[in-house]
Structure 1
Amino acid sequence: MTSSIHQQAVQNNKDSFNEEFAQKYEQLESQSILSILFVKHILEFDLSIVTTSNPEDSNVVLGDPEKPLNGFSIEETLPDPKTYLQKFPKSIFRPGMKLLDFACGTGKVTELFVPYLTQKGQHSEIVGIDIGSAFLSWFNKRAEKFTSDELTMKSYEYDILDIDNEPKLEQFNNYFDAIICTISYHHIHNYEQVTKKLATFLAPGGWLFIIDFYNEDVERVRDISKATGAVQHMGGLKKDSLNHTLRDISGLINVSSSCRFRTWVYQPKEFIMNHCDEETTKKLESGELKSRNSKNGGLEYLIQANLIYAIGQKNPK
């Protein structure tokens, strides 16, 4: 049996990520911006770096908030699928691979990988796993559009820590060449055990990529159990904690965690209070943040989104 705390956390997430939220999520400019940047940083990341030293944190803020989508676009920001493997010959993202998007949501990130995995004569698989049926209905619409002779794309509604799902999950053991998870870990109550389970899904030599919001205040809190407010919400994403989870709990190698990029996004007050550092929340309360009317109603405020990038590899042996 899974713990009652975990079960309640899963139910809370299901209640929050309903059809109404899924529709709003699809329309958020911030999600379009972040999706492009997530895929760019995953596709272009040099995996050889982590075998020698941890990547350094980046203080560069990407994009221009005065331009639509910060000036980013799929065509101009992401690598050209036709020349991608020539520029990044060591990439593991290529036709013929098996990719899992864990906590895939609506598939807004997932679909951006399709051009890099599709090639005549090769067959790739993309799997999405999520606990929310409302989000997966959007994912499945995308899957219908992209599934072809060269690519299978499908989803599963699973809580991977629910022991009742174990017989169904055995099909994924040692299966995926890569697993990605973007801006979902801060919603997961027991992310240590989730990571351990995801590691079992990796094929030997496969890589796990985690990208999530990062609150630097968390690093200054010694005892996460005593943290409050935004720090409690982001408490599990300390760099050392993520590295410990990837390496010591999940048994992965070539582990690293760093603040890899920042960008401008507009977010509502609730998001800022639950995710951002004390400096940003004080600016919100004092009226220093630039604001605009949201398409979904209400005000949203311009902030820097800091993103942590954590990776680990399953031992090839």
Structure 2
Amino acid sequence: MNNEDLNLFSIARLKELFGTPEQGNDDFIICDPHEPLQQSMFRFPSKLNAYIIGICMGGTGKLSINLNEFEVSAGMMVINFPENIIQIKSISDDLEMRAFIVSENFLREMHIDMRNLVPIYVEFKNRSCLKLNDEEMHSLKLYTELLEEALTMPDAKYTKEVIQKLSGAMVYRISSILNKEEFIHQADDSSAQSRRELIFKRFMELVSDHHKEQRNVGFYASKLSITPKYLSTLIKEVSGKTAADWIDEFVILEAKALLRYSDKSIQEIAYILNFSTQSFFGKYFKHHTGMSPGAYKLQES
């Protein structure tokens, strides 16, 4: 990659590249990773400013999400968040998979309860894959078939409304599957818990947007109109990690991706990530990974 950032796609851009403008609005699209063009778009590490929900009906594939590799097979669901780095490493010839891509705006319009999504986010941020049981797989396949049928209806009345309702129902079904997992702790119904988790969500959005320029907890606390101490305590209570831990995780992931996949020098990467010197970046990277940027780049080359 020659640009200083990873490939960044929007749903509108994907629809333009795939030649599928008929698929509703720019908040929702269905992709087939087996299609050569659609697979090639994610051949290199990329970011998509939307949620990806992949349902595998057959075959196998290998994905990299945040530089962690996952093997996907029949009966599995893949979840990818907007700030994640995703790459398709390989797929089998018999892969049968559909990727539903929905925007944050779409979820808001569907009135998805963010108090339930916060624990899901914390658990699946790096886990990404889930094995479905037969009943869950059957229900999601039905939604898939109905949506694809709706999308192929030529000039049908209320097509957009049908797609919105069906995709909304599917998102709710997936949310219920995830919330049923025994390791997901249901959110407290109190207004205080709701506010804490909404602050966490906003904090993660800010870190996703600003981690390359700002590593100071005080910056994010100021944006949220709370004190750094309160923010650190709140983030720890909600997610099990401190605010500083989350910031460092984003920065290190970005650094690793640039070291592994770009042709930038270490000095250039230090500049991109707003470190005052290459030496300071090197010490920061080694503190969090146990190796120098040069050693990591050499190891991954």
When normalised by structure 2's length, the TM-score is: 0.30
Q: Which has the higher strand share?
A: 1
Q: Which has the higher contact order (CA 8 A, sep 6+)?
A: 1
Question: Which of the two has higher C-alpha Rg?
Answer: 2
When normalised by structure 1's length, the TM-score is: 0.29
